[in-house]
Amino acid sequence: MKWRNFLPLIAAASFSFLLGTGSPAVAADQDVLMTGGKTGDYYLYFGPPIVKLLEKAWVDAPLQESKGTPDSMDWLVEHPLSYALLQGNVYADLIKNDKYAGKIKILRGSGIGNETVLAVMNDKIFTRSQGSWSAVAAHAKQVRIVTASEASGPGQTLLQLMRLDPNGLGKAEPKFMDSMDAALNAVADGRADVALMVQFANPQNPRFKLIAEKGLKIAPVLSASMKSLEIPGVGPAFTLCENAQVAPDTRINTACSPILIATGASNDNQDLKRVFAGVSEADFTPTEPAFAKLWKSMLSKGGAAWDAAVSKANELAAKNNL
């Protein structure tokens, strides 16, 4: 064949590569571990130990970026032999939908880590509410609330909290931004008052550094209605995380949701049962020392501890007529 006859093939291959269809990163039939963005904690810290754990079950599943739990669940429906790290409270809602029901199973629902639910406020609202989420929720219609996109973990969480509290937070008229950073910047430059953020508490994370640089305040998010949400087959969708370090010199107690490891319901790899039945804390411990220290110091509690924290928050709001 003459050289000129190769040109159409070369051009087609080049065009395919430019479109991304020729990317060699992950083969179309490759099992993967869906996480989050490459700069996020799921990808950097929580994912690598899970990759090693899956290797014990004869599974090679490289890390794959995801736009969030809804995106990861979509992937598992289409690729049931893949795996995903999911935000527990978001999964609890979405798994009720026909799109996902019966198509995803949880391999582990505790021990991996917890994402804290946080309210990032400007000075005016932080002072007016005295850092009380209960006060913000009670005046939701008068507070400009923002978060990341509706499809993101924070976006799904805000919508969920509004449904759980229809007479309070449910009256809010939130704005959904392209990203969590965009939402934080909206609070910083005066276009919004409060941003709902769901994030592992890590002061070294660029997002927490942005909050500090902009002089914003972080407040815990707690409400009695959150206790009613359950993750099917796992337990509470929200617990109380004590000792969450949100700044180098600041720790708070706030609601948090467990990180889940999931796969497709039809994945019948029998080695998974053996491996996950024998896991220990060491199997989930992040390898980066500073992050591992934060991971170990944050304690998740439910029951009486949750009730006491919510009661204390409500009493503060009532005492100060907030």
Q: Which of 15-19, 92-96, 233-237 has the lowest average pLDDT?
A: 15-19
Does residue 154 surpass a pLDDT of 50? yes
- Residue 26 CA to residue 74 CA, distance in Å, equals 17
Among candidate residues 114, 309, 136, 322, the one with its CA nearest the CA of residue 224: 309
Around Cβ 314, how many Cβ atoms within 10 Å?
Answer: 18
What integer pLDDT is reported at residue 25 of this predicted model? 53
What integer pLDDT is reported at residue 305 of this predicted model? 83
Does residue 11 surpass a pLDDT of 60? no
Inter-CA distances, 240 with 55, 117, 305, 315, Å = 32, 10, 7, 17
Q: Which of 111-120, 253-262, 286-295 has the lowest average pLDDT?
A: 286-295
- Residue 24 CA to residue 13 CA, distance in Å, equals 13
What integer pLDDT is reported at residue 28 of this predicted model? 57
The 8-class DSSP code of residue 67 comes to: S
- Residue 292 CA to residue 31 CA, distance in Å, equals 27
Angle between helices 180-188 and 206-213 (to 10 degrees): 10
φ, ψ at 236 (rounded to 5°)? -60, 140
Are the C-beta atoms of 114 and 258 separated by less than 8 Å? yes
pTM comes to 0.86
Structure-token pair, residue 234: 């796992």
Q: Which of 48-57, 111-120, 126-135, 307-316 has the lowest average pLDDT?
A: 307-316
Structure-token pair, residue 49: 């130990």
What integer pLDDT is reported at residue 296 of this predicted model? 82
239 forms beta bridges with 256
What integer pLDDT is reported at residue 231 of this predicted model? 95
Are the C-beta atoms of 71 and 55 separated by less than 8 Å? no
Inter-CA distances, 189 with 39, 119, 128, 176, 184, Å = 24, 16, 18, 16, 9
- Residue 285 CA to residue 279 CA, distance in Å, equals 11
- Residue 212 CA to residue 203 CA, distance in Å, equals 9
What integer pLDDT is reported at residue 40 of this predicted model? 81
The mean per-residue pLDDT over the stretch 48-68 comes to 93
Task: Please determine, looking at this structure, whether the domain spanning 114-258+298-319 carries the CATH number 3.40.50.920.
Answer: no
Confidence band of 127 (pLDDT split at 50, 70, 90) = very high
What integer pLDDT is reported at residue 59 of this predicted model? 95
Average pLDDT across the chain, whole number: 87
What integer pLDDT is reported at residue 232 of this predicted model? 93
Does residue 35 surpass a pLDDT of 60? yes
What integer pLDDT is reported at residue 9 of this predicted model? 37
The mean per-residue pLDDT over the stretch 93-109 comes to 95
